[in-house]
Amino acid sequence: MRDEQIIQGIRNGEEAAFKELVDKYQELVINVCNRFLHNKDDALDVSQDVFIKAYHSIDRFRGQSRISTWLYRIAVNESLNYLRDRKRKNIFSSLDVLFSNPGSDPLEKVEDNDDIAPAKMERQEQKDLLYRAIESLPKKQRVALTLNKLEELPYKEVAEIMDITVSETGVLINRAKKALQKKMVAELKKN
Amino acid sequence: MKCKKVHTRLLSFYEGTLPQGEMEQVKRHLDQCETCRQLYHQILASWKMAGEERIPYQPFFYTRVRQRMANQSRPAGSRVRHLARTAIQPALFFVVLGLGITIGIQLGKGIGSQQTAQVENQQNEYLEAYAENQFWNGFQLESLEQELFFADTTSLTRSLNKQEDSHE
Ligand SMILES: [Zn+2]
């Protein structure tokens, strides 16, 4: 099924067309969500909402951009919203831990994870180093860098997804790269 | 080139996107400076690893999307419960409070004895305090319950998803 047929099919309420959309683009959506969330379960969870949102707003899709661009945009927005909500919820749950368990230190549990192989830990640490650095970037820089460097999308498509110009995209990515390296160097020097 | 300047050019150096002169300067620096060379390799390692991470096609994904859509299309029951908790419950407390006071006043008028009036005042105070407490607790409980409920369902769907994953 071609993309235009998929869109038309969904508008006509054809189940098969929606299934085609999900099957064709699930990897794209799940992976871009994972780029922001760094967790498979969360990425799958948010991706479901991305497709539901796409389904309900299919009439707003004008067909000037590609389906992938449109889905990317929804996926980025949903992922960022999810992160924002999680941050809020974390504040509540950490308060919860503090009040319900005044005797125990929540950090204690994390530290007795010694049975993980050191090589694997190192890999995870290396990944975390980058993720922390990326998360510390201003939102637009983070999105531009993630889409261009990790999703390997060209500037033009990043610009379309973010609804900015190509030159603005370039500026964002350059700034992001510089800040990212500074942050990583600083963290590595600390250890 | 100084170390600090090199640090902000490591990724571009790796990509080969620096101007020709800078490419050579960074290369020369990395050849000579052990610290920067190590930083370069560490940063590059995490950079490559993050790019490689990919989640493969999920066979039951469409079914899950459909399931969630079905669940979302019938939240009417919970909406009614929510309304009951936020609006009807507090309203009921006021009605009860008002009734209590009116009955109290009527009783006080009817009997006219000082002693009973006193007792009845105490009762009113108690009733007022009780209603007020209940009212505020109602609100606090409500948001707490919502938090808990929300956390529950998300962790439940997650664990369900996990189970499904392990079957895949
Ligand atoms: Zn150096």
ipTM of the complex: 0.82
CATH code where residue A113 lies: 1.10.10.10
pLDDT tens digits, one per residue of B142-163 = 444 444 444 444 444 444 455 5
Is it the case that residue B121 has pLDDT exceeding 70? no
C-alpha B164: how far from chain center = 24
Is it the case that residue A103 has pLDDT exceeding 60? no
Helices (H) and strands (E) in chain B, counts: 8, 0
Cβ(A105)–Cβ(A137) below 8 Å:
no
Q: How far is the CA of A174 from the centre of ligand 1 (A)?
A: 21
Q: CA A123, CA A14: separation in Å to the nearest integer?
A: 45
pLDDT recorded at residue A96: 63
B71 contacts in A (CB within 8 Å)?
none
Do A103 and A72 share a domain, yes or no? no
Q: What share of chain B is helix, strand, coil (3-state, %, to 5)?
A: 85, 0, 15
Nearest-by-Cβ selection for A26 from B45, B54, B61 = B61
Do A48 and A110 share a domain, yes or no? no
B158 contacts in A (CB within 8 Å)?
41, 45
Q: CA A28, CA A111: separation in Å to the nearest integer?
A: 35
Q: How far is the CA of B71 from the centre of ligand 1 (A)?
A: 57
Give the sign of the dihedral formed by CA B159, CA B160, CA B165, CA B166.
positive
The 10 Å Cβ neighbour count of residue A104 is: 10
Do A136 and A46 share a domain, yes or no? no
Nearest-by-Cβ selection for B42 from A131, A180, A188 = A188
Residue A172 pLDDT level (bands cut at 50, 70, 90): very high
Of A49 and B129, more confident: A49
Q: H or E segment at A50?
A: helix A40-56
Is it the case that residue B138 has pLDDT exceeding 60? no
Q: Closest by alpha carbon to B165, among A93, A39, A116, A59?
A: A39
Do A88 and A135 share a domain, yes or no? no
Is it the case that residue B117 has pLDDT exceeding 90? no
- Structural domain harbouring A113: 94-191
Three-state helix/strand/coil letters over A114-161: CCCCHHHHHHHHHHHHHHHHHHCCCHHHHHHHHHHHHCCCCHHHHHHH
Percent of chain A predicted with pLDDT > 70: 85
Q: CA A11, CA A59: separation in Å to the nearest integer?
A: 7
Do A153 and A174 share a domain, yes or no? yes
pLDDT recorded at residue B148: 43
End-to-end CA distance of chain B: 54
Do A189 and A105 share a domain, yes or no? yes
CATH code where residue A73 lies: 1.10.1740.10
Residue B91 pLDDT level (bands cut at 50, 70, 90): confident
Do A77 and A99 share a domain, yes or no? no
Mean pLDDT over B4-18 rounds to: 93
Cβ(A184)–Cβ(B46) below 8 Å:
yes
Give A112→chain B minimum CA distance, Å. Answer: 24
pLDDT tens digits, one per residue of B26-52 = 999 999 999 999 999 999 998 888 778
A189 contacts in B (CB within 8 Å)?
39
Of A146 and A96, more confident: A146
The count of domains in chain A is 2
pLDDT recorded at residue B131: 57
Mean pLDDT over A119-143 rounds to: 88
Q: CA A13, CA A55: separation in Å to the nearest integer?
A: 10
Rg, chain A, Cα only: 20
pLDDT tens digits, one per residue of B50-87 = 778 899 999 999 999 999 999 998 755 555 665 666 66
Which of these three, A92, A113, A138, is where a domain ends? Answer: A92
Which of these three, A92, A115, A149, is where a domain ends? Answer: A92
Of A110 and B61, more confident: B61
pLDDT tens digits, one per residue of A15-26 = 999 999 999 999
Phi-psi category of B112—alpha, beta or left, where left has phi over 0 and alpha has psi -120 to 50? left
Nearest-by-Cβ selection for B8 from A129, A131, A181 = A181
Which of these three, A61, A92, A123, is where a domain ends? Answer: A92
A182 contacts in B (CB within 8 Å)?
7-8
Do A26 and A53 share a domain, yes or no? yes
Do A55 and A147 share a domain, yes or no? no
Do A181 and A101 share a domain, yes or no? yes
